[in-house]
Amino acid sequence: MNSQADSHMNQQQLLEIYDQEQRREVNYPGVERQVLPQLIRHVDPNGVMSQVLYTDLDEHNADTVIAEQIAFFAGQDFEWKYFTHDSPTDLKQRLAAYGFEVGEAEAILMLDLETAPESLFAPVTQDQRQITEPELLAGIMTVQSRVFGNKDTVDENEDNWVARQLAEELATTPDQVSVYAAYADDDVVVSSAWVRFPENNRFASLWGAATLRNYRKRGFYTALLAIRAQEARQRGRRFLTVDASPMSQPILARFGFQWITTSHPCMWKGRPA
Domains of the chain: 4-107 (no CATH), 115-237 (3.40.630.30)
Q: CA-CA distance, 144 to 84, in Å (whole number)?
A: 28
Task: Provide the 3-class DSSP secondary structure of residue 179.
Answer: strand
Residue 224 Rama label (left phi>0; alpha psi -120 to 50; beta): alpha
The Cβ of residue 16 has, within 10 Å, a number of other Cβ atoms equal to: 12
Count of CB atoms within 10 A of residue 90's CB? 12
Q: How many whole angstroms separate alpha carbon 200 and alpha carbon 26?
A: 8
What's the mean per-residue pLDDT of the chain?
91
Separation CA 220–CA 216 (nearest Å): 7
Contact at 8 Å (CB) between 104 and 246? no
Sign of CA dihedral 175, 49, 24, 16: negative
Q: Say what the pLDDT of residue 1 is.
A: 41
List, for residues 117-164, the tens digit of each pLDDT value: 999 999 999 999 999 998 889 888 889 888 887 665 555 555 578 888
> pLDDT digits over 250-268, tens only?
999 999 999 999 999 999 9
Burial classification of residue 25, based on how many CB atoms lie within 10 Å of its CB (0-12 exposed, 13-18 middle, 19 or more buried): middle
Average of per-residue pLDDT across 210-222: 92
pLDDT tens per residue, range 166-211: 999 999 999 999 999 999 988 899 999 999 999 999 999 999 999 9
Identify the band that residue 9 occupies on the pLDDT scale cut at 50, 70 and 90. Answer: confident
Question: Residue type at 99?
Answer: G
| pLDDT score of 162 | 85
